[in-house]
Structure 1
Amino acid sequence: MNVGTKVALAVAAAAMTVAAAVGVLVHHLTSERQLDTARSELDRQLVTAAYDYAAARTSPARINPPGLPEPVGEAVRGGVRVTYLQDGARPVLWAATRVSDREVLTVSRSYAPEARALASLDRTLGAVGAIATVLVSLAGLFLGVRMGRRATAAARTAERVANGDLDARVHPGGRDEIARLSAAVDTMADALGARLEAERRVTADIAHELRTPVAGMSTAVGLLPPGPATDLIVRSVRNLRGLVEDVLEVARMDAQVATVETEERQVSAMVRRAVAGLERVEVRVPADATVTTDPRRVERILSNLASNALRHGAPPVEIEVDGPVVRVRDHGPGFPPDLFAVLHTSGPQRFRTSAPGAGTGLGLTIAVGQVRLLGAVLTFRNHPEGGAEAVLRLPDRPSG
């Protein structure tokens, strides 16, 4: 149940409660006033009838009527002049007093007109209360729907920002709590965009600044004499060059200048090309498929997933091709709980830190970025039989 519905129901319940309370109060006050007026009038008639009886004049009063209610008779015999309302289908109002030891003088009249007037008042109060409740409920519904729409707009903008649309804004109006919430969402989006832009600039600047000296190092390494030290330097320079290329790839994806060049390729062929230089990687193809995609990016994704599995898991790494679905599984301990939470909430973090699970390196970051460009789906889980598993689902045609 959304906020608008809750507000509308609350306003309707409050309106019904107020209408019922007002109706009961008016009914009670009117009933007492009617009864007091009728009793006073009938008591005056009784006093007049008593004077007429004492003067032997004719009056509408009766002596010891057969239908006298028992409470009236008991009260009069005690020396009290009383008025009494006899309820029933035909209500009757009595007034009585004792004129001798054995005689009770009474005056009575029908109370039906007052009962009908009170019933008519109740019907009027019910109708007015119902109309007021409907009008107030409609006003509450309008207010609730408006509040719900504003809150929903703020929530959807926050979701868009979380999904990477840093240009999304709410642009709130007003000064209430929802406006403050919307303004906070816009402020958060501005701050997040500024931080990400600064990070992108730093990433791109570092990569471009390192590219030239790394290229010079690669050229200089070729001039070294053969030997174990030279082999170590060559491997280090190769790793450094690969790291720089990874950082440049991230910078291009951050700047949204990466392009997708599609071809028709067999999934199994792309998998085998991706893991051609890796050891202890087993490829199984229960079902193959042909997809239209960017083979270079798919191979980069699979190569990064397999390398990550070898580096952080335990061999052998099994890659299963099931049509457009590719599963990469290692036989290590699986994703740690803290890292697993990061993968399923904010996604891979590009740089490692000293805090456990705070980063996953550039490999998974590049893989996730390539997946988004291709319109594919990449999910992570711990396999029921042990080990970490990444599942890549390729679309028939890329969306980027």
Structure 2
Amino acid sequence: MNVGAKVALAVAVAAVCVAGAIGVLVHRITAADQLATARSGLDQELVSAAEDRASGRASRARLDPPDLPGPVARAVRGEVRVTYLQDTGERRFLWAATLVSDRRVLAVSRSYGPEERSLAALDRALLATGAAVGALVALAGLVLGVRMGRRATAAARTAEGIAAGDLDARVRPRGHDEIARLAASVNAMADALGARLEAERRVTADIAHELRTPVAGMSTAVGLLPPGRASELVAGSVQKLRDLVEDVLEVARLDSQVATVETEPREVSAMVRRAVAGREGVEVRVTADAIVTTDPRRVERILSNLTANALRHGAAPVEVEVDGPVVRVRDHGPGFPPELLAVLHTSGPQRFRTGDRTSGTGLGLTIATGQARLLGARLSFRNLQDGGAETELRLPTP
């Protein structure tokens, strides 16, 4: 149940409770007033009947009526006038009685039906009025709740957009209530997050640019070393450092959204084979081929990173299946760690995090995800029941 429905329901329940309480109060006050008026009127009629009897005039009063209620007969012995409402189960009668000079009981009675019908009519009017007022108040509550729900939903969607990477998303605060404060807080959070990420991007790009020159010098110096095992180790380390610097620069370009896409029609299987060329332990299987219009360099970079990640953190053989515009990369290792898989399903890969406590830093999945987002493709990650991890790349098709 959304906020609008909850607010409308709460307002409607409150309106019904208030209308019911007022209705019960009016019913009781009216019933008591009617009974008091009827008692007074019948008592006056009894007084007039006693005077008429004393003067010898006829009246509606009766002497010692056989149907006189027992409580009236007992109470009238105290030489007082008595009024009594008798309930027979089907009908109600109002009695008035008093003692006359010869110790006999003079009584008058009448049906209490007119008052009951009048009270029933009042109850129906109160019920109809309460229902109408309740419906109107519920409608007003629904309108208010829908407005509140829309504002809260807008703030939630904006927060979701920010979490998905749209740092330009903002909420337009309206009013001065808690929802407006929430919207302002979401905007402030987006501003702070954007500033922090921008600072991080700049630092990352600056560090990578500054490292390119000394790394290039190291690469040149390695070429001057005498052949041997030591020079091979240094050359391999320098190459890894060079690759890492290029990866960091690539992440910085993706984050700053300055990368451009150059599309052309290409067979998916051809891009897959170019991406895995020269890699041992990788098998390519084409179930169905397709021609897609995309940036082949970026697709090959994605597939190269995915297969390298599968070989580094999984186990051979790594199977690459082409199923039309869908490419699946599967390894036979232990699979994605649960904590890493949870992150991949929510916020996406985090830079310098591989999920392998024994490995070093890693940017492969981060670059692959950024390239896929740039191409309009979709990456999904999962662990297979029979072991191993699988990454699926779904390229966009017309």
Q: Partners of 1:354 and 1:377 in 2: how far apart?
A: 21
Shift of 1:322: 1.7
Query: Structure 2: which 5+ residue stretches go unaligned?
Result: none
Do the aligned residues in 2 keep the contact of 1:264 with 1:291 (CA within 8 Å)?
yes
CA-to-aligned-CA distance 1:65-124 (integer Å, 9 cap, x gap):
355445544544676642223457764322123437884311123433323332332233
Shift of 1:373: 0.9
Tell me the equivalent position of 1:340: 341
Q: CA deviation at 1:389?
A: 1.3
**Identity of matched residues, %:** 76
The 8 Å contact of residues 314 and 389 in structure 2, kept in 1 or not, is answered as yes
CA contact 2:283–2:319 (8 Å) conserved in 1: yes
Q: Which amino acid aligns with 1:105?
A: L
- Residue 18 of structure 2 aligns with an amino acid whose one-letter code is V
Q: Does 1:127 align with 2:128?
A: yes
Structure 2 equivalent of residue 2 of structure 1: 2
Q: Within 2, Cα distance between the matches of 1:272 and 1:198?
A: 38
What TM-score, normalized to structure 2? 0.91
Q: Deviations over 1:362-385 (max 9, x none)?
A: 111000001101111111111111
Q: Contact 2:164–2:347 at 8 Å: present in 1 too?
A: no
Query: Partner of 1:348: helix, strand, or coil?
Result: coil
In the TM superposition, what whole-angstrom CA distance separates every residue of 1:192-241 from its partner, at most 9, and x where no partner exists?
11111011101111111112222233333333333333322322222222
Structure 1-normalised TM-score?
Answer: 0.91
Matches within 5 A, 1:7-26: 7-26=7-26
Q: C-alpha root-mean-square deviation of aligned residues, in Å?
A: 2.6
2:182 corresponding residue in structure 1: 181
**Which amino acid is the alignment partner of residue 213 of structure 1?**
P
Do 1:319 and 1:327's aligned partners in 2 also have CA atoms closer than 8 Å? yes
How far the C-alpha of 1:56 sits from its partner, in A, is 4.0
Contact 2:340 2:355 in 1 (8 A): no
Listed one character per residue, the Cα deviations across residues 124-170 of structure 1 (whole Å, up to 9, x for unaligned) are: 32232223222222221221112111111111110111111111111
Q: Report how far residue 57 of structure 1 moved.
A: 4.1
Q: Is the 8 A contact 1:348 1:364 kept in 2?
A: yes
| CA distance, structure 2, for counterparts of residue 286 and residue 141 of structure 1 | 55
Are positions 1:253 and 2:254 aligned together?
yes
| CA–CA distance in structure 2, aligned partners of residues 33 and 355 of structure 1 | 85
Aligned residues: 397
Say if 2:83 and 2:97, in contact at 8 Å, map to a contact too: yes
Contact 1:326–1:391 (Cα < 8 Å) also in 2: yes
Do the aligned partners of 2:295 and 2:375 also contact (CA within 8 Å) in 1? Answer: yes
On the 8 A contact 2:99/2:106 being kept in 1, the answer is yes
- SS of the aligned residue for 1:327 comes to strand
**Which one-letter code corresponds to 1:281 in the other structure?**
V
1:370 is aligned to: 371
Instruction: Please give the residue correspondences for 1:349-388 in structure 2 after superposition, counting only pairs within 5 Å.
Output: 349-352=350-353, 361-388=362-389
Q: In the alignment, does 2:90 pair up with 1:85?
A: no
User: Does structure 1 retain, via aligned residues, the 8 Å contact 2:354–2:361?
Assistant: no
